[in-house]
């Protein structure tokens, strides 16, 4: 699209031997033309659509994902509708402004390269979390939706991480605030994991809980899961000071709008990938709602007294995991 690499084979146009002047237009013919057109444009549309789908799968909810896809669809369809309704005027416009159209194509190429760099470097996770934060900034936080933030590496390097007070419901990792924070009890729950074992959060008082909310379709979640498994093994398989616990939100006939695939499919995903740390099944979505989860992955740190120490809406590296676990063990919030 930038014109840097040129290939006659890739630039060659192929046309179907159809005489449009001999066909009478009807819905069936229109459908056939539409299908052929969309199929032929797959190489052109594919990269942009793929980028949109990646952003949609990282959205805070299915509604936000559908909104992103809907906006993309409008941006793709509206120009063609305009061409269909105002063919003569628009063709004259395009002829007069061919250079502008050429630069539009190049701008699309630059945008795709930028998104590729963001994906490779992990910036896309922060960007989607930022968009999720904008979507939830206008809502008020309930007492069950804690609003503290666990520090990231970058924040720790600037004099320590931050945790925000209850008046700032949209706080994210690395935002500055006072270290004097009121204690926020973590919403209690009782759920069953993939092995049939029951987990009640209040039973883990006296231990620090690493509580991770995730989904099987979430790419950022998948990238941090090997580190969570390794941490689970290194810290004593939940038999010592730290409990590693994840929560999934599988669909069911009764709850078809939950965030993930069916419970059996979640269990199969865990088994196929060798993840043995406990994943509790929130089949009703009540625990996700109680914690105000709006992006994947989201990780909460629960201290020994059962209070929320902080949370992060982003992919965590092993170094960051170790850092926030140690800070919670020490009861140390950096101001």
Q: Which CATH number covers residue 294?
A: 3.40.30.10
Sequence-separated (6 or more) residues with CB below 8 Å from residue 253: none
Nearest to 130 by CA among 309, 297, 295, 324: 295
Q: pLDDT tens for residues 230-267?
A: 999 999 999 999 999 999 999 988 888 888 999 999 99
Instruction: Tell me: do 153 and 191 sit in the same domain.
Output: yes
Read off the tokens for 173.
Answer: 């990792």
Sequence-separated (6 or more) residues with CB below 8 Å from residue 290: 144, 145, 187, 189
**180 in any annotated domain:** yes
Start-end of H helices in 273-317: 286-290
**140 in any annotated domain:** no
Is the dihedral angle over the CA atoms 212, 215, 219, 225 positive or is it negative? positive
Q: Is the pLDDT of residue 17 over 60?
A: yes
**108 in any annotated domain:** yes
Q: Which residue has the tokens 């991770």?
A: 212
Look up the domain containing 56 and give its range.
8-121
Instruction: Tell me: do 153 and 25 sit in the same domain.
Output: no
The pTM for the full model equals 0.52
Rounded Cα distance, 321 and 324, in Å: 5
Instruction: Tell me: do 79 and 174 sit in the same domain.
Output: no
Instruction: Tell me: do 41 and 188 sit in the same domain.
Output: no
**Tally of structural domains, the chain:** 2
Q: pLDDT tens for residues 162-213?
A: 333 333 333 334 333 334 567 889 999 999 999 999 999 999 999 999 999 9
Instruction: Tell me: do 152 and 117 sit in the same domain.
Output: no
**136 in any annotated domain:** no
Read off the tokens for 91.
Answer: 């063709």
Domain endpoint, select from 86, 121, 156 = 121
Report yes or no: 106 and 3 within 8 Å, Cβ to Cβ: yes
SS3 for 285? coil
**243 in any annotated domain:** yes
Instruction: Tell me: do 186 and 83 sit in the same domain.
Output: no
Q: pLDDT tens for residues 78-97?
A: 887 887 788 777 777 777 77
Report yes or no: 39 and 143 within 8 Å, Cβ to Cβ: no
Domain endpoint, select from 87, 121, 155 = 121
**21 in any annotated domain:** yes
**178 in any annotated domain:** yes
**135 in any annotated domain:** no
208 φ, ψ to 5°? -90, 135
Instruction: Tell me: do 151 and 43 sit in the same domain.
Output: no
Instruction: Tell me: do 176 and 239 sit in the same domain.
Output: yes
Instruction: Tell me: do 313 and 179 sit in the same domain.
Output: yes
SS3 for 210? strand
Nearest to 125 by CA among 55, 48, 175, 174: 55
Instruction: Tell me: do 177 and 302 sit in the same domain.
Output: yes
Instruction: Tell me: do 115 and 164 sit in the same domain.
Output: no
Nearest to 244 by CA among 224, 265, 264: 224
Tell me the average pLDDT across 214-236: 94
Instruction: Tell me: do 114 and 245 sit in the same domain.
Output: no
């Amino acid at each position: 699209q930038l014109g840097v690499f040129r290939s006659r084979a890739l630039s060659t146009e192929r046309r179907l031997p159809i005489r449009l002047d001999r066909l009478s237009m009807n819905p069936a013919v229109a459908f056939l033309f539409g299908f052929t057109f969309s199929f032929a444009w797959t190489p052109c549309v594919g990269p942009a659509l793929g980028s949109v789908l990646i952003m949609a799968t990282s959205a805070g909810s299915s509604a936000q994902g559908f909104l992103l896809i809907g906006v993309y669809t409008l941006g793709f369809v509206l120009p063609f509708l305009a061409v269909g309704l105002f063919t003569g005027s628009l063709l004259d416009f395009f002829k007069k402004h061919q250079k502008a159209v050429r630069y539009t194509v190049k701008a699309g190429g630059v945008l795709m390269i930028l998104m590729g760099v963001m994906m490779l470097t992990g910036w896309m996770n922060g960007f989607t979390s930022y968009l999720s934060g904008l979507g939830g900034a206008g809502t008020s936080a309930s007492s069950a939706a804690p609003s503290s933030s666990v520090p990231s590496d970058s924040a720790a390097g600037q004099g320590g991480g931050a945790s925000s007070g209850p008046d700032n419901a949209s706080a994210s990792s690395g935002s500055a605030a006072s270290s004097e924070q009121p204690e926020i009890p973590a919403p209690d729950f009782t759920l069953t994991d993939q092995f049939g074992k029951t987990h009640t959060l209040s039973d883990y008082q006296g231990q620090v809980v690493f509580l991770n909310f995730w989904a099987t379709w979430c790419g950022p979640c998948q990238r941090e899961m090997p580190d969570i498994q390794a941490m689970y093994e290194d810290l004593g398989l939940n038999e010592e000071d730290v409990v590693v616990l994840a929560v999934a939100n599988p669909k069911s006939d009764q709850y078809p709008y939950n965030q993930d695939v069916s419970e059996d499919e979640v269990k199969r995903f865990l088994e196929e990938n060798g993840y043995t740390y406990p994943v509790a099944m929130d089949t009703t979505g009540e625990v996700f709602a109680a914690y105000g989860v709006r992006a994947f992955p989201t990780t909460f740190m629960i201290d020994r007294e059962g209070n929320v120490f902080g949370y992060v809406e982003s992919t965590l590296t092993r170094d960051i995991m170790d850092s926030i676990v140690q800070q919670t063990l020490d009861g140390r919030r950096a101001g």
